[in-house]
């Protein structure tokens, strides 16, 4: 019988799928498995279902001689050495699409949250500081009618764009490949080069994958292009932003604010960032809804079940 290792608790429905094709061991602890401890668990397995914070290295892949598939429970797969997997004939899968809406919703929560200072205002009330309405209390910025800049117009970027309609925003996007005219028209979004988008937009939100090309896509120079009253939102991967440079910009008030769900050295956060009021910091919860996490686990499990029963994976990834 095939042996399957799951690096975290997942839905019963996903577990049942895995149990139909093999013997399943689940890591029940909240502590994230990595390094030797992760390798110990996966070394004799046919399949491993990983989370986005389990780093699967070339060394692990080359020594796990039975391994046939790594089913990553996440759309991002920068935690897995894809090149090594390809070299060793190990299939890698991810979970695209099922998390588009949850991540787009959270992005909007962050846009509205940072613009209207929701977290600061909530803290103020909890601290017993609310003594009555004041005309200047927690003044924020409008979202309605402003310019939204989307970096990365893939599936999640598109879902974010669709939601901008109700806010009557002018939407601009930057993407490696420009969308066909009909798609731009349907989305009511205009292509802009990155520099112009950074200079022009009021809310800039990142939805690009992490790879060699996108590392520090937003560095000090790019932050310098942003308007003083603009906001930066990131629900993709932390290393797309030079976090130290962002911290310095926020502290100096060179941009209005930022809202982050992901960090450059997750779960570490650049020193001083938590002291700032003009930033919202979330613990990587973009896809964290009951429905979405269940769908993600089921898709990861279905990929594994397919491969272990000799069928093609549903959502394979390649370098």
Binding interface with ligand DGY (CB under 6 A): 52, 74-76, 99, 286-287
- The string of DSSP letters for 29-42 reads SSSPP-HHHHHHHH
Between 256 and 301, whose beta carbon lies closer to ligand DGY? 301
Residue 174 burial by CB count (10 A; 0-12/13-18/19+): exposed, middle or buried?
A: buried
Between 22 and 74, whose beta carbon lies closer to ligand DGY? 74
Q: CA 95 to CA 303: how far, in whole Å?
A: 9
Between 239 and 286, whose beta carbon lies closer to ligand DGY? 286
Beta bridge partners of 13: none
Q: CA 192 to CA 206: how far, in whole Å?
A: 14
Between 292 and 306, whose beta carbon lies closer to ligand DGY? 292
Set 86, 120, 248, 266: catalytic member: 266
**Beta carbon of residue 284, minimum distance to ligand DGY (angstroms, whole number):** 6
**Beta carbon of residue 50, minimum distance to ligand DGY (angstroms, whole number):** 11
Give every CB contact of residue 135 below 8 A, 6+ residues apart in sequence.
none
Set 88, 163, 199, 284: catalytic member: 284
**Beta carbon of residue 99, minimum distance to ligand DGY (angstroms, whole number):** 5
Between 169 and 296, whose beta carbon lies closer to ligand DGY? 296
Is the torsion defined by CA of 135, 136, 139, 142 positive or negative? Answer: positive
Q: Residue 246 has which token pair?
A: 């962002």
Q: Residue 248 has which token pair?
A: 């310095």
**Beta carbon of residue 82, minimum distance to ligand DGY (angstroms, whole number):** 14
**Beta carbon of residue 211, minimum distance to ligand DGY (angstroms, whole number):** 13
**For residues 104 and 156, is the Cβ–Cβ distance under 8 A?**
yes
Q: Measuring CA to CA, which residue among 206, 258, 208 is closest to residue 229?
A: 258
Any idea which residue has 């932003």 for tokens? 241
237, HSE (Cβ side, Cα atoms, 13 Å): 20
Indicate if 237 belongs to the active site.
Answer: yes
Set 117, 207, 237, 293: catalytic member: 237
Q: CA 144 to CA 163: how far, in whole Å?
A: 12
Indicate if 207 belongs to the active site.
Answer: no
Indicate if 284 belongs to the active site.
Answer: yes
Active-site positions? Answer: 237, 266, 284
């Amino acid at each position: 019988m095939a042996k399957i290792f799951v690096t975290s608790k997942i839905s019963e429905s996903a577990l049942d799928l895995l149990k139909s094709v093999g013997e399943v061991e689940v890591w029940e602890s909240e502590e994230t498995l990595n390094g030797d401890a992760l390798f110990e668990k996966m070394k004799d397995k046919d399949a491993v279902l990983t989370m986005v914070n389990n780093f699967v290295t070339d060394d692990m892949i080359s020594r796990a001689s039975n391994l046939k598939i790594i089913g990553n429970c996440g759309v991002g797969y920068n935690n897995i050495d894809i090149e090594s997997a390809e070299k060793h004939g190990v299939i890698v899968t991810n979970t695209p699409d099922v998390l588009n809406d949850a991540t787009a919703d959270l992005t909007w929560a962050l846009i509205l949250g940072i613009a209207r200072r929701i977290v600061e205002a909530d803290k103020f009330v909890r601290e017993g500081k609310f003594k009555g309405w004041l005309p200047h209390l927690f003044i924020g910025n409008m979202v309605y009618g402003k310019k939204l800049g989307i970096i990365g117009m893939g599936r999640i970027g598109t879902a974010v764009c669709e939601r901008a309609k109700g806010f009557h925003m002018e939407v601009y996007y930057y993407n490696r490949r420009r969308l066909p005219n009909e798609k731009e028209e349907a989305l009511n979004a205009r292509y802009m080069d990155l520099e112009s988008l950074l200079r022009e937009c009021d809310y800039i939100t990142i939805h690009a994958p992490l790879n060699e090309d996108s590392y520090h896509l937003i560095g000090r120079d790019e932050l310098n292009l942003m308007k003083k009253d603009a906001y930066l939102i990131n629900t993709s991967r932390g290393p797309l932003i030079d976090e130290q440079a962002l911290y310095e910009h926020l502290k100096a008030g060179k941009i209005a604010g930022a809202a982050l769900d992901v960090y450059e050295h997750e779960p570490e956060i650049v020193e001083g960032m938590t002291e700032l009021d003009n930033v919202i910091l979330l613990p990587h919860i973009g896809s964290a809804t009951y429905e979405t996490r269940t769908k993600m686990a089921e898709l990861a499990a279905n990929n594994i079940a397919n491969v272990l029963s000799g069928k093609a994976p549903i959502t394979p990834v390649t370098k």
